[in-house]
Chain A
Amino acid sequence: MIDFAALRKEFPILDQEVHGKPLVYLDNAATTQKPQAVIDAIVHYYGRINSNVHRGVHTLSQRATDAFEATRGKLQRLVNAEFEHEIIYTTGTTGSINLVAHGFRSLLSPGDEVVVSQLEHHSNLVPWQMLAQHTGATLRYIPILADGSLDLDEAQRLINPKTKLLAFNHISNALGTVNPVVKLTEWAHAVGACVVVDGAQGLPHRPVDVQAMGVDFYAGSAHKMYGPTGTGMLYGRTEWLEKLPPYQGGGEMISTVTMAQSTYAGLPFKFEAGTPNIEAVVGWGAALDWMNAIGMDSLMAHESDLMTYGTERLTAIDGLVLFGTAPEKSAVLSFGFADLHPYDLGTLLDQQGIAVRTGQHCAQPIMDYYNIPGTVRASFAAYSSREDVDRLADGVERALRMLR
């Protein structure tokens, strides 16, 4: 049994007051806090190891390379990739998706179709709009249903032989909907389309097995899973990674360079131009160890308890509307009131030391669907507790007394 209350003490940032009240941090879908083990790993990296990777013959460079590459192996095991070279380090989920979208510029032509969903974060939407604009391909949207799940009947109709690429998120950042990755992937593969999954919210909250899911690309960010900001990964199936041209040119990604031309390095280095965010990758390795020690099963059980309790406490509040009520949801409670602006609620919650996200959550098409200016979003992580939920519900009640 994992003692989740004790685990909270590993996060120094949580031990502070905001506006004179003990901090309740419920903005985990935006970024999670970092345990001491991750902070220590970064300090240790700069204190003892720092050197550039993959270059020098000297000892520090070798140590830095080992620490840097160790994380790749951990990520391979995390998502069950067939090969380690299928894990590409990027700047984050956004960077990963842009890498794929840029690569597809040479693979699409007018008449081809790209299917995305209305449930997407802008980072899994705008790159495809840019790709469509560049290639003349047509962008099609899988609509959402009232409960915030994807309209699968419509999805099945939209995916057709002209579809070259299907992109969607594993878990919605705005509503918490968990999408049927396997089913969607099967439909896309049946017409020969490539499948790109935004796993920014998937990796922290669900087991991921890219081979069992069958996806071609899966993107994630370290900072949403207790690791540092500014680094992330792209899993890509070997055949696709070989098909895509390099994204950025520079050092590290080449094999030979002459004045006339260059030949590119093999995978994964072909996509890793320049000195990477070594410190963050090393810190991410510590975060993965930390998550492993808890185990995804324990984490899911803990978060599921918070979701049940949170749903119960919030829906008991007069007039509260929960957005996103799909049967399978993860770690996100998005809500609002017909007569109140989410910004007012967020401000008064902040005054009570409660950190939530307000607004459109970088997912404007969802807010357009519900015809609302935004929601208040509380999102959970390993260190979240029932007391946090109580503080949130009480805080909302107090804000309502002031605003109504």
Chain B
Amino acid sequence: MSTLETLKAREAEVVDEFEFFDEWMDRYEHIIAQGKSLPAADAAIKTDDNLIRGCQSKVWITAEKRDGLVYFTADSDAIITRGLVALLLRVCNGLEPEVLAKADFEFLTAIGLTEHLSPTRANGLQSMMKQMRLYGVAFQAVN
């Protein structure tokens, strides 16, 4: 089974989770819970090279390829942003580079997140997604 199906299944799972909440405050509570459960990344990854531009809070992302699959390590200094990072990691960790490079992160639109976020936060999220896709492209190239 291609990891594309894995990606789609995980996205559907997140969409189901969010549909459970009617209120945005509850959705934020859920995002915060994800942020709190994300293991803190090693301080060594918090370098300027790994810093994502375009966020009001700081976000660091790095990735490695093991057995042909891409695994991310990421962190943020703000909890809500950490929650968004955790959601992206839940969906994207362990995908094939080809799948990752083409990931459309449609689930974020499906749960209304891209529409709901403030423009600065939405820009930050776009930058994170772009960076993750770029890792997909880069790891494809080193095959």
Which A residues lie at the B interface, using CB under 8 A?
A: 19, 340-341, 343-344, 347-348, 350-352, 358-359, 373-374, 402-403
CB distance from B8 to the nearest CB of A (A): 29
Q: Are A351 and B56 in contact (CB under 8 A)?
A: no
Q: Does B143 contact A (CB under 8 A)?
A: no
Contact (A403, B32) CB under 8 Å given A341-B77, A341-B79: yes
In the bound assembly, the distance between CA atoms of A249 and B79 in angstroms comes to 51
Q: Are B24 and A347 in contact (CB under 8 A)?
A: no
As a 0/1 sequence over residues 21 to 40 of chain B, the CB contacts with chain A under 8 angstroms (1 = contact) are 00011001100100000000
How many inter-chain contacts with C-beta < 8 Å in the A-B complex?
Answer: 43
Contact (A402, B28) CB under 8 Å given A343-B56, A373-B57: yes
In the bound assembly, the distance between CA atoms of A359 and B120 in angstroms comes to 12
Residues from chain A with a CB closer than 8 A to the CB of B25 are: 348, 351-352, 402
Q: Are A402 and B121 in contact (CB under 8 A)?
A: no
CB distance from A39 to the nearest CB of B (A): 25
Residue from the list B29, B58, B80 in contact with A347, Cβ < 8 A: B80
Residues from chain A with a CB closer than 8 A to the CB of B121 are: 343, 347
Residue from the list A341, A351, A374 in contact with B28, Cβ < 8 A: A351
**Which of A344, A351, A358: most chain B Cβ within 10 A?**
A344
Residues from chain A with a CB closer than 8 A to the CB of B81 are: 341, 343-344
Chain B residues with a Cβ closer than 8 Å to the other chain, count: 15
Residue from the list B56, B78, B79, B118 in contact with A350, Cβ < 8 A: B118
Q: Are A358 and B56 in contact (CB under 8 A)?
A: yes
CB distance from B96 to the nearest CB of A (A): 34
| CB proximity to A under 8 Å, residues B45-65 | 56-58
Residues from chain A with a CB closer than 8 A to the CB of B78 are: 341, 343-344
Residues from chain B with a CB closer than 8 A to the CB of A19 are: 24
Residues from chain A with a CB closer than 8 A to the CB of B28 are: 347-348, 351, 402
Residues from chain B with a CB closer than 8 A to the CB of A402 are: 25, 28-29, 32
Q: Apart from A341-B78, A344-B81, what are 19 other A-B pairs with CB-CB below 8 Å?
A: A340-B79, A341-B57, A341-B77, A341-B79, A341-B81, A344-B80, A347-B28, A347-B118, A347-B121, A348-B28, A348-B80, A351-B25, A352-B25, A358-B56, A373-B58, A373-B77, A402-B29, A402-B32, A403-B79
| CB nearest neighbor in B for A401 | B29
| CB nearest neighbor in A for B56 | A343
| CB proximity to A under 8 Å, residues B6-26 | 24-25
Q: Are B32 and A343 in contact (CB under 8 A)?
A: no
| CB nearest neighbor in A for B121 | A347
**Which of A340, A374, A403: most chain B Cβ within 10 A?**
A403
In the bound assembly, the distance between CA atoms of A206 and B44 in angstroms comes to 49
Residues from chain A with a CB closer than 8 A to the CB of B118 are: 347, 350
A-B contact pairs, 6 of them (CB 8 A): A341-B79, A343-B57, A343-B80, A344-B57, A344-B79, A344-B80
CB distance from B99 to the nearest CB of A (A): 31
Residues from chain B with a CB closer than 8 A to the CB of A373 are: 57-58, 77
Q: Are A359 and B56 in contact (CB under 8 A)?
A: yes
In the bound assembly, the distance between CA atoms of A351 and B81 in angstroms comes to 15
As a 0/1 sequence over residues 116 to 143 of chain B, the CB contacts with chain A under 8 angstroms (1 = contact) are 0010010000000000000000000000
In the bound assembly, the distance between CA atoms of A143 and B50 in angstroms comes to 33
Residues from chain B with a CB closer than 8 A to the CB of A374 are: 56
In the bound assembly, the distance between CA atoms of A352 and B32 in angstroms comes to 16
In the bound assembly, the distance between CA atoms of A382 and B118 in angstroms comes to 27
In the bound assembly, the distance between CA atoms of A351 and B23 in angstroms comes to 10
Closest 8 CB pairs of A and B: A341-B78, A343-B57, A343-B78, A344-B80, A344-B78, A344-B79, A343-B56, A341-B57
In the bound assembly, the distance between CA atoms of A16 and B28 in angstroms comes to 23
In the bound assembly, the distance between CA atoms of A373 and B77 in angstroms comes to 9
Residues from chain A with a CB closer than 8 A to the CB of B77 are: 341, 373
In the bound assembly, the distance between CA atoms of A374 and B56 in angstroms comes to 10
In the bound assembly, the distance between CA atoms of A348 and B78 in angstroms comes to 12
In the bound assembly, the distance between CA atoms of A343 and B24 in angstroms comes to 17
**Which of A347, A352, A373: most chain B Cβ within 10 A?**
A347
In the bound assembly, the distance between CA atoms of A402 and B25 in angstroms comes to 9
CB distance from A398 to the nearest CB of B (A): 8
CB distance from A245 to the nearest CB of B (A): 39
Residues from chain B with a CB closer than 8 A to the CB of A358 are: 56
CB distance from A6 to the nearest CB of B (A): 32
**Which of A340, A343, A350: most chain B Cβ within 10 A?**
A343
